[in-house]
Amino acid sequence: MLTERLELKSFTPEHAEELLALRIKNQAFLEPLEPIRSDSYLTLAGQQTEILQSEQGRIRDQGYIYGIFLQENGQLIGRAALTGIARGPFQNSNLGYFLDEAHNGKGYMTEAVRGVLKLAFTQHNLHRVQAGVMPRNTPSLRVLEKAGFRKEGLAERYLKINGVWEDHVLFGITIEDWEAKL
């Protein structure tokens, strides 16, 4: 899927080296914002496994993980994921994302999240997308607000991030909210 400046596309095995390089480059930047990973995560085999698991999730309609690529040169600058899809009466997914630190502050993540919402509501037939962000992660809070999410509350000790149970501000958006902003 193309946005104004980006291309969102599913990872293939050929992306493993590029994804690994992005992860290694941003390891110190992302470490305070992510769970502790196994030693094998930051290896080529670890990223190949991540891509394989994302393909299996897509086949089972349990998750959709997109690489965020610059249209101008095809460079991978981040990832956005719809995971934990619940079907039936819920039709809900969790949204997670990260962006190369060097590309922060340029509006790319907001653009990518808007693109992922379009995919969520028009291709994946979801009714609701939710996201949780640590209160101190101001840039990510701003991304969700600019993308049209509404703040729904605070979940205390919600996720174990970098070894610590962290509070998260919960956000949500439904297809009705999204359509009203078109």
Q: What is the pLDDT of residues 70-126, one digit of tens each?
A: 999 999 999 999 999 999 999 999 999 999 999 999 999 999 999 999 999 999 999
β partners of residue 66: 10, 80
Q: Residues 45-56: pLDDT tens digits?
A: 999 999 999 999
The domains of the chain are located at 6-180
CA atoms within 13 A on the CB side of 30: 20
Q: 């819920």: which residue's tokens? A: 90
Measured CA to CA, the distance from residue 137 to residue 98 in angstroms comes to 12
CATH homologous superfamily of domain 6-180? Gcn5-related N-acetyltransferase (GNAT) (3.40.630.30)
Q: What is the pLDDT of residue 98?
A: 98
